[in-house]
Structure 1
Amino acid sequence: MKFTRIAPLGATLALVLAATPAMAQSDSGGVDWTGPYVGGSFGYTFQKKDNAEHLRFDTNADGNYNDVVRLSGSGADAFSRGTCGGAARGRNPGDGCNGDKDAISWMGHVGYDMQFGSLVAGVVAEGGKAYISDSVTEFSTTPHSYTMTRRIDWNGNLRARVGYTTSGGVMPYITGGLAYAKVKNSFSTTNTAANTGNAFTESNRKEDAWGWTMGGGVEAKVAPNFSIGARYLWTRYKTNDYNVNVSRGTATATNPFIITPSGTTEIGRGDKFDTQSVMATASFRF
C-alpha cells in the first residue's frame, strides 16, 4: 500500500482535530455528543462502470504487466478483439458480458466523540460485508474469452470525523481514513485443456487490500442516548497480488502464451478497486 496517498487526507484531518477547540462555538443548545457509542449501518454499495480496464500480461517474467501476447508467425496482437467491463457470456464479444454486481451492504461500528461548543470531533471503526463483485474480460483471436473477477469477502475502516451540531441536535460531518478489505479473486476462461487448451495456475486468490476512504454524512439525536443518520463513503483499495500463470497444457507448441521470452505468460489486471456506499446509520450512545 502506498501510504503517500493516504497521508494528505490524514494530515488534513489531524489538523482539523487539533484546531477544533479554538474553532468551536460557545453554545450548542444543550446537546451533548461527548462519549462512546456503538451501532450499525445498512445500505447499498456500488461501483463506477469502467469499460477502460483491460487484462494485462507479463511475457518476460520481469514483474511488469505491460507486454503484448503475439501470434506465432504474423506477430499480431493475440488480444486485438477487445475487452468488456464485466464477465463474458461466451468466447466472442458478440456473446455479450454480464455487468459488475452492486449490492446491499451492512456494517457494525464503535466510536467516540468529543464536543467543543458546537463542533464535534471523533473517531469511528467499522466492519462488515459488501456483497459486490468486479469483473473484466479480454477476448483473444483464437477465439476465447478470459475473465478475472474480484469479490469483497468482508471490509472495514478506521475513520476520523468532524461535524457541526445545531441547537436541535442535527450534526452534518465530514469523514475519512484508512480502509481494508479481504478480497476473493477468481478466473474463468473458455480456453480449457478439454479443448486442447492451456493450463492456468492462480496465485493469491485471497488477498489483503488496503486503501483509503472519505465522505460525509449527517447524524441527528432523536433521544439522549440514541442517534440516527445517513452517510456516503468513496473508497479505493489497492489490489495487486492476484495473478494467473499460463503454461502449455495441451496446447500446440506455437501457442501465443508460450512462445514468449519466459516460456509462459502471467495475467493480471489493474490494481485500483473503487467502491461507493450510501448507508443509513443508528447508534446507541453511552
Structure 2
Amino acid sequence: MKKLAIAAVAGSALLTGIVTASAADMAVRAAPMAMAPAPFSWTGFYIGANIGGAWTPDNGGSDFGPLFPPFAVLPPAVAIPTIIPGQLDVLLGGGRRSGVIGGGQIGYNWQVNQFVLGFEADAVGTGLNGTSGTASRTIGAPIFAVPVTQTVTVDFGHIEWMATFRGRAGFAVDRALFYVTGGAAVAEIGGSTTTLVNGPGIGLPPAGTYVATNGGHTTRWGWTVGGGIEWAFSQNWSVAGEYRHTDFGNRATTFDIPSGLAAAPIFFTGTSTQRLTVDQATARLNYRFNWGGPVVARY
C-alpha cells in the first residue's frame, strides 16, 4: 500500500512537469516573431525645386578687324584740316560672369541592389550675363594737346533660361545616393549686342556717344555633365547638392560700328565669335511618390 502511494505521487509529479513544459513550449511557439525592417528604396517618381549660382569662365574669343571710324579735325583745333583714319584692332572678348539660377525638376529612379538608375528633366531661369568684347585707342600729341580716347564695347547678351534632359546613375548607401548625370541641354540666348563709339568732340564726328544695337534671340543646343550627392531625410523628402558643366558651343554675333555721321551712320559691320559654357552649383529639394517600393535584387 505504501509503495502504491509513492508511485501515485511520482506519477502525479511527472504528469505535472510534462503539462507545464508543454504549456511553456506552446507559449514560446505562440509568441509573435519580430519583423525585420524593409530596406530603404530609391525607386519612384519625384518632383522638386532648385536654386543656386552659375558662372561663365573667362573663355571669350578675339576678333581682328576695323573697329573705329575715321574722323576729321578742323582748325582751330589744329593748324590745317587733319583726317584721322579708321583703325584695325583686336576686339578682346571674355570676362568671368556670374548670376543666380533657380527652377524645378522632375524624374524617376529605379534601384537594383545598391545601384540606382534614372532620368531627370529640369529647367531654370537665370540672371547670367554673357561675355563682352572691348577695344580702345587714344590719340594725343602732336594732333591733340589733350589726348582723346575712343572705346568700342560689344555686349553679347545673356542666357535667359536653360533646360536639360539627362540620365542618372548612382550608388546608394541606405539613405545616401552618390550619382553622376549627363545628357542634352538647351538655352535661350537673349538681349542685344551694343556697340559704343565715343566721339572725340573735335571736328567730325561731333562730341557724343554713338550707339548701334543689334537685337534678336537664339536657341542653342549643347551637352551637360556633372554629379551630386542626395540624402533622404524622410520617406518622401530628400535634399541634394549638384554640380554641372554645360557647353553650348561657339556663337557668332554680328555687331555694327557707328560712324556718327548722318549720311553714313554705319562705319563697319563685324562678327565676333564667343564660346558659351556655363558652370553651375545648385541645392535641390525633392518630393518622392511611391517611395519605399521593393529593392529589385539581381544575382
Shorter chain as denominator, the TM-score bin is 0.5 to 0.7
Query: 1:247 deviation in Å?
Result: 6.6
* Higher percent of residues as strand: 2
2:47 is aligned with 1:38: yes
Query: 1:240 deviation in Å?
Result: 2.4
Residue 79 of structure 1 is aligned with which of 77, 89, 93? Answer: 89
Query: Which residue is 1:149 aligned to?
Result: 156
Q: In the TM superposition, what whole-angstrom CA distance separates every residue of 1:95-151 from its partner, at most 9, and x where no partner exists?
A: xxxxx4412211200001111111010000001112111232221437222222321
2:286 is aligned with 1:283: yes
SS at match of 1:78: strand
- The 2-side partners of 1:196 and 1:38 are apart by 54
The answer (yes or no) to whether the contact 1:185–1:242 under 8 Å persists in 2 is no
Tell me, which stretches of 5 or more residues in structure 1 are unaligned? 1-28, 57-66, 87-99, 259-263
- The 1-side partners of 2:52 and 2:211 are apart by 41
Query: Which residue is 1:161 aligned to?
Result: 168
Query: Which residue is 2:273 aligned to?
Result: 269
Letter in 1 for 2:58: K
Query: Which residue is 1:61 aligned to?
Result: none
Matches within 5 A, 1:198-277: 200=212, 202=214, 205-238=216-249, 240=251, 242-246=253-257, 250=261, 258=267, 264-270=268-274, 272-277=275-280
Letter in 1 for 2:46: Y
- The 2-side partners of 1:285 and 1:197 are apart by 56
SS at match of 2:58: coil
Letter in 2 for 1:185: G
- The 2-side partners of 1:221 and 1:120 are apart by 14
Query: Which residue is 1:172 aligned to?
Result: 178
The answer (yes or no) to whether the contact 2:168–2:181 under 8 Å persists in 1 is yes
The answer (yes or no) to whether the contact 1:246–1:267 under 8 Å persists in 2 is no
Rate the CA distance shift 1:223–1:199 in 2: closer, same or farther, 3 A: closer
Letter in 2 for 1:126: D
Q: How many pairs align?
A: 222
Query: 1:276 deviation in Å?
Result: 0.8
Query: 1:278 deviation in Å?
Result: 1.0
TM-score (norm 2): 0.64
The answer (yes or no) to whether the contact 1:179–1:210 under 8 Å persists in 2 is yes
Query: Which residue is 1:9 aligned to?
Result: none
Tell me, which stretches of 5 or more residues in structure 2 are unaligned? 1-37, 71-82, 138-148, 199-204, 290-299
Give the stretch that moved more between structures: 180-189 or 139-148: 139-148
Query: 1:46 deviation in Å?
Result: 1.7
- The 1-side partners of 2:49 and 2:181 are apart by 16
The answer (yes or no) to whether the contact 1:136–1:149 under 8 Å persists in 2 is yes
TM-score (norm 1): 0.67
Q: Percent identity?
A: 23
The answer (yes or no) to whether the contact 1:43–1:104 under 8 Å persists in 2 is yes
Residue 124 of structure 1 is aligned with which of 113, 120, 126? Answer: 120
- The 2-side partners of 1:207 and 1:194 are apart by 36
Query: 1:215 deviation in Å?
Result: 0.4
Q: In the TM superposition, what whole-angstrom CA distance separates every residue of 1:192-231 from its partner, at most 9, and x where no partner exists?
A: 787588773525x211021111000011121111111111
Rate the CA distance shift 1:70–1:188 in 2: closer, same or farther, 3 A: closer
Letter in 1 for 2:184: L
CA RMSD across the alignment: 3.2
SS at match of 2:251: coil
Query: Which residue is 1:181 aligned to?
Result: 187
